[in-house]
A = this chain, B = another copy of it.
Amino acid sequence: MAYSAPKVEVTSAFWKNYRDLVVKKVLPYQWQVITNQIEVDLPLDPGGNPTTGDTLSYAVENLKIAADQAEGKFHGMPFQDSDVYKWLESAAYALQDHDDADLKDIADGVVDLIAAAQQPDGYIDTFFQIKWPDRKFARIQQSHELYTMGHYIEAGVAYYEATGNEKALDIAKKIAACIDAHFGDEAGKVHGADGHPEIELALARLSEVTGESKYAELGRWFLHVRGKDPDFYDKQNKADGWDRDFFEQIKYLPRTYYQAAEPVTKQQDAEGHAVRVMYLCTGMAHIARLTGDDSLLKACHTFWESVVHKRMFITGQIGTTKEGESFTYDYDLPNDAEYGETCASVGMSFFARRMLELEPKGEYGDVLEKELFNGTIAGMALDGRHFYYVNPLEVDPRALKGNPDFRHVLAERAGWFACACCPANLSRLIASVDRYIYAVEDDGTILADQFIANKATFHNGAVIEQRSNFPWEGHVEFTIDNPEGAEFRFGIRIPAWSKGAFTLAVNGEETNVEPEDGFVYLTIADAKTEISLDLDMTVKELRANNRVAEDAGRVAVTRGPLVYTAESADNAGDLWLYAIKPGSGAYEFKPELLGGVGTITEQGTKEILDESDDLYLPAGSEQTESASVTFIPYYAWANRGEGQMRVWQRTV
């Protein structure tokens, strides 16, 4: 299925706020960080390993050294370059939306710098160019070379699309040519895939923007070579020198960590590093569409089932354990030890979007919505300058300080990370959220997938304006201007949370059209059509499937797409002392709170703190009092100082 992207202007107040934040705060801040203008107190690596000790990023400096514009040592992670590339990609999306000559000057300069750093053969990876020039592509389990170059390809494609800068695209093509020259089935080439998927999805993007199928085919080759020879990495490591690791601990992680224990088409569960799985799946879905490879589509379905129905936290976050930032086993969803990497939620958004481009199923949009309004944006503070890498659903600051098992969790967001993948990943998602609202099918059907107010112009001349105060209100209006009188199907996703409880009116007439696989479809032929949709915004308490041990007997508070949470800032005392009464939740929008959020107050009880200093007491001896619990949207937690936070509540 080909994909005709509409031109979309986001008008949603909620998302404009985030997008302005990216342009005005996040991009300038990240630029200062990657150019060593800001010294950041890099916290411990979330996995608990000590960092390099650097308090500067050096990411741009490394490129200058590779380009012979500076002298010095390489600093940072082997994939440090990708911080620059993700910044450039975010800047590209921002420039598509905002005219900003200063930003464009800086970004053009970055493209020039990258071009200068790139070798004549197309290779670019400053870690290897500066530090290990004789070990290129020799240890791809750990090198992240294709990962890093893939990030450039994404950035180059985006920057070319946004600004028409041909140089940016040429760098990407030269990278692809270099990779093609070194990887493949032919003798003398490397017969394996990068330890971290990314190049596959990047090649798909390059294929789509250039219209050249060879890039998609190269990406397809990487998808199928993964796990074909399960010993591939061990062999390469031995040839390169067994103990010459870039990441000591990685070699001993199971092959599933890299989704390389067997071919991707044979894998039955999402295993290993959650981000790797998401990037892999994004590439599989995209390349399945571009090449028609149904074995990849089938693999996407298998991974989707495993993640979405068995391994996803209620906020869309994925990855249970800090060890390898990995999936564990079905229904293992501990709220406090949860890893839930921001990048994994961003990656799940990518995957969901690519699946919707393949198939019109409401579940893809449901998951994308869950990520957009919960799992992803929780990764950034409202100030745009502090970030989470790890996103638990339950926090007690005492545990984070006092119990080393929670060393990976922070009570407040950090200014930056030694491994800085998350902040720029989130900013590029936010800056490109306009691309996540609609999908256009082969037959011309337009799917309105996300309730993000916007004005969009389509391939067929139709202009669709979507107006709403979502996620705070469930009333959504669409005005379809169809001056050329094109006839097309228009599908609107009815979220699972509003299933059986919505009203739809077309030109003022209520209709009873039922959703098919999550979408209601209308045929549009008139020059102007007014559609009004009202979604069910009642407060709903959810429980987990009872295969989830951690949530037994507990409920989470939700409204529309938002999962809510309780914080110490609104609720006195230890949060586990409270129990709520499902059905008692009252909603109120508070414009002054946290940039304007809807709050929910549930009625229930609170245990009075025991007077006894005995650790164990007779059952039933606890004293309780009536109490209410105030909830805020999960994404907005940890913006008011350190405190407890708890999504899953006991019930009365």
- A contact set with B: CB distance below 8 Å: 308-310, 312, 314, 320-324, 328-329, 332, 337, 396, 398-399, 401-405, 540-549, 552-553, 555-556, 574, 576-577, 579, 582, 607, 609-610, 612-622, 650-651
Contact = CB atoms under 8 A, between A and B. Distances in A.
Query: Which 8 pairs across A and B sit closest by C-beta, in order of nearness?
Result: A329-B402, A541-B619, A323-B404, A328-B403, A552-B576, A582-B619, A555-B619, A549-B576
B622 A546 contact: yes
B622 A543 contact: yes
A403 B321 contact: yes
A587 B300 CA distance: 53
A153 to B, nearest CB: 34
Given A312-B615, A403-B321, A405-B405, A545 B610 contact: yes
Contacts of A399: 328-329, 332
A426 B540 CA distance: 52
Contacts of A310: 615
Given A308-B615, A545-B614, A552-B650, 10 more contacts: A321-B403, A329-B401, A332-B398, A332-B402, A541-B620, A542-B617, A545-B610, A546-B609, A548-B615, A549-B574
A567 B618 CA distance: 23
A617 B543 contact: yes
A650 B544 contact: no
Contact of A543 (B401, B404, B618): B618
Given A328-B403, A398-B332, A552-B576, A542 B323 contact: no
Contacts of A404: 321, 323-324, 328
A534 to B, nearest CB: 20
A543 B616 contact: yes
A54 to B, nearest CB: 20
Contact of A547 (B321, B556, B574): B574
B403 A332 contact: yes
A321 B549 CA distance: 21
Contacts of A622: 543, 546
A455 B64 CA distance: 86
A322 B405 contact: yes
16 contacts: A309-B614, A314-B616, A322-B405, A328-B404, A329-B401, A332-B403, A541-B618, A542-B619, A544-B617, A545-B613, A545-B617, A546-B610, A549-B576, A553-B579, A553-B650, A556-B616
A601 B592 CA distance: 54
Contacts of A547: 574, 609-610
Most buried by B among A312, A322, A337: A337
Contacts of A321: 403-405
Nearest to A608: B546
Contacts of A544: 615-617
A301 to B, nearest CB: 14
Given A328-B402, A402-B329, A579-B553, A612 B322 contact: no
Nearest to A646: B549
A337 B540 CA distance: 32
Given A309-B614, A651-B619, A552 B540 contact: no
Given A309-B615, A615-B312, A549 B403 contact: no
Contacts of A308: 615
Q: How many copies does the complex hold?
A: 2
A399 B552 CA distance: 16
Most buried by B among A396, A398, A552: A552
A544 to B, nearest CB: 6
A614 B323 CA distance: 27
A612 B545 contact: yes
Nearest to A579: B553
A577 B555 contact: no
Nearest to A607: B546
Contacts of A545: 610, 612-617
Nearest to A333: B615
A399 B337 CA distance: 13
A579 B553 CA distance: 9
A405 to B, nearest CB: 5
A329 B609 contact: no
A323 B48 CA distance: 12
Contacts of A398: 329, 332
A544 B618 CA distance: 8
A399 B328 CA distance: 8
Contacts of A324: 404
Contacts of A614: 309, 545
A607 B545 CA distance: 11
A543 B619 contact: yes
A607 B546 CA distance: 8
A343 B85 CA distance: 53
A616 B542 contact: yes
Contact of A620 (B309, B579, B582, B613): B582
A516 to B, nearest CB: 19
Most buried by B among A323, A404, A544, A651: A404
Given A545-B616, A613-B309, A651-B619, A337 B552 contact: no
A80 to B, nearest CB: 26
A310 B614 CA distance: 8
Contacts of A620: 541, 543, 582
A580 to B, nearest CB: 10
Contact of A621 (B543, B556, B618): B543
A312 B615 CA distance: 8
A331 to B, nearest CB: 8
